[in-house]
Structure 1
Amino acid sequence: MKTMKILLTALLVCSFVQTAQAAGKKSAPKQINASEDIDTLGGNKDLMDMAGRIQSTSRSRIVQERIVDRRNKVEFGLSYGGIMGGDAYLRTQSIGFSMDYHITPRWSIGGRYYDFGSSLTPEGERIKKASEEAKANGGVANPFNVDTPQSAMMAVVNWYPIYGKTSFLDLGVTQFDLYLLAGGGSIELSSGNTDLYTAGLGVGAWMSRHLSIRSEIRYQKYDDMPDRTVARSVDTAAATISIGWIL
């Protein structure tokens, strides 16, 4: 009996040891990283590919879709600006009217009309006064002549290669375009009409489907005739800001 008890006890101890060893060999359950699981959509490759395509399409649509589609649209504008360069004796400003036909969002053609107002600069006032005083005193007066711009009309072509969007004062998203322009026409001077050529760049902000704001700076070239006998070449820069309405 004593021997039997010893055998049973030995069997129970061996069974317990084997069970413990088997349990120890089992690996602990893998820890799941919640954020990683979400980012990889549970490791589902098909879902990951589909999500990537949707995200790329959404980003492309946000960038490329224009708030204001200017295709086959007419835009009218009123502008105010100034002339830099040219005759050193004149200070010239302009009020203008414009019309642009937008063929596509990339191209438009249009017309510009400007009415000029000029005044003498301080140097011009000094030279004019000296000439008048010399003439009144019977001396030899240096001639003082200027050929003031009166008005101008021109046709232009606009190309809009750069487009973007920005937030304007946190009031909403504003669409803008940077554009180049070139054109020509005629300018009326005190001495008569002469050809006018222009080229420049500008930025247009389309505040809503109907309201626009533009800022332009243009190089202008024409010939004037201050002494009414010999023409001279004049190079000027015109800067304008305008507000427009898109039909």
Structure 2
Amino acid sequence: MKKETTKTAKKTVRAKKATSAVKKTRTLRKKKATRAQALKSDLQASLKSAQAKIQSSFSNTLPAAKEKIQSLRELVGEIEISKSKLESMMDLQALKKQITSAKKSLKSAQKKMTSRKALSIIGLSMLLIGGLLAGRSAMAQGNSNSLNTLGDQSQIMQKARPSIPANTYRVVQKRVIERDFRSELGISVGTVASGGDSYYETSNLGLQYDFHLNTRFSVGLRYQMNFNKLTPEGKRVYDRAEQMAAANNNNYVVPDLDQPLSTALATVSFYPVYGKVSWFESTVSYFDFYVMAGGGQTQLKNGTSPLLTGGLGMGMWWNQHLTSRFEARYQTYEDQIFTGKRRIEGAVATFTMGLLL
């Protein structure tokens, strides 16, 4: 009985211990749950407080951030503008270098043109002087020898042909085509043979009127329409500029051209040399060498400019009404480009067919 009672007591003690352990466990669990709930509440409160602080801070710093971003954008814009200005300055420096090079080339071309012009004038002057000397020599020989004798050599006199009739002699020695107080109308074509602008070349078509005061002097009016086209050098420069522009390369230069559109002139001509030409011994034509000078105005693409000219020419008088002229003259005027005014000089050659009224 005692053993059974002891076993029962032990079981009871064990049961109480188990019950007590269970209670302790439950109590601990409740405490842990309570602590976890409190911790969760604290965390939520802290999170809400942090969110509130972040929102408050963000709302306070957002306008300042926007202002900073705007200022940065403005700074970037200023940097881009400065970059563009710098590139423009670099392009301007390159342009100045090219302009300087072009001016040097122009001066060299003008020197060459001046030398050629001087040679041309010297050649024409020699031709004029030769004609004067030949005319004087012929006149002196005609005055010294009689038409009725060939000197003292009788054999040559016997073999000589009969003397030239008086009327034929008059035709040779005197002017058959008189021009006193007569008008001459003509149509001319010409070209700028040398000088001018190196980037374009000019040809012209014009009308011409001359009033002959006598056989030595005449006054005239001339009007010419000019036609311009690019030279090979000008075409090369423009083609290269178009290619660079198509490739979005703005580092190119196009020359500024002030082309002549028309020219109006008033002239005075002096005819010191007179002669004749026999064509196959069947007909005779008469001619005059003359010098001329004049002035007027040329109409350019960018405005107008006074023009001065002077030169030499030869007029052919085919009959009482049909005439022709070949003329070489020097002209000078000023054109206007983006760098300012510049002097343009050139040699002009013209051919004219006309009617003597």
The 3-state SS of whatever aligns with 2:292 is strand
Provide, for residues 163-221 of structure 1, a one-character-per-residue CA deviation record: whole Å limited to 9, x for no partner.
01111344411010000000000001111110000000000010000000100001000
Q: Deviations over 1:137-178 (max 9, x none)?
A: 232221321111100000000000000111134441101000
Counterpart code for 2:208: S
Q: Is the 8 A contact 2:317 2:323 kept in 1?
A: yes
Match of residue 79 from structure 1: 188
User: 2:257 is aligned with what amino acid?
Assistant: V
Over 3 Å counting, the alpha-carbon distance change for 1:171 and 1:192 in structure 2 is farther
Tell me if structure 2 keeps the 8 A contact 1:132–1:141. Answer: no
Distance 1:60 1:118, change over 3 A: same
* Aligned residue type for 1:67: V
1:2-36 CA distance string (max 9 Å, x none): xxxxxxxxxxxxxxxxxxxxxxxxxxxxxxxxx94
Answer yes or no: is 1:195 the counterpart of 2:306.
yes
TM-score for both structures, normalised by structure 1 = 0.74
Partner of 1:174: 285
State whether structure 2 residue 209 is matched by structure 1 residue 99.
yes
CA distance in 2, matches of 1:115, 1:169: 38
CA contact (8 A) 1:200 1:219 kept: yes
Specify whether residues 36 and 163 from structure 1 end up closer, same or farther in structure 2 by C-alpha distance, changes over 3 A only. Answer: closer
Contact 1:81 1:93 in 2 (8 A): yes
Q: Tell me if structure 2 keeps the 8 A contact 1:155–1:184.
A: yes
Deviation at 1:94, TM superposition (A): 0.5
Whole-angstrom distance in 2 between the partners of 1:38 and 1:177: 35
Q: Which residue of 2 aligns with 1:17?
A: none
Of Structure 1 and Structure 2, the greater helix share is in 2
User: Measured at CA, do residues 38 and 241 of structure 1 come closer, stay the same or move farther in structure 2, by a change above 3 Å?
Assistant: closer
Partner of 2:232: 122
Normalized against structure 2, the TM-score is what?
Answer: 0.52
C-alpha distance in structure 1 between counterparts of 2:168 and 2:177, whole Å: 18
Residue identity over aligned pairs, in percent, reads: 38
Gaps of 5+ in 1: 1-34, 41-53
SS at match of 1:225: strand
Query: Do 2:237 and 2:254's aligned partners in 1 also have CA atoms closer than 8 Å?
Result: no
> Which protein is richer in strand relative to its size?
1
Gaps (5+ residues) in structure 2? Answer: 1-152
After superposition, where does 1:130-209 map in structure 2 within 5 Å?
Answer: 130-136=240-246, 137-209=248-320
Deviations 1:56-90 (A, max 9, x none): x9898444411210000000000111012110111
2:191 is matched by which residue type in structure 1? Answer: G
Closer, same or farther in 2 for the Cα pair 1:114/1:171, shift >3 Å? Answer: farther
Specify whether residues 173 and 130 from structure 1 end up closer, same or farther in structure 2 by C-alpha distance, changes over 3 A only. Answer: same
Where relative contact order (Cα < 8 A, 6+ residues apart) is larger, the structure is 1
In the alignment, is the contact (CA less than 8 A) between 2:226 and 2:261 conserved in 1? yes
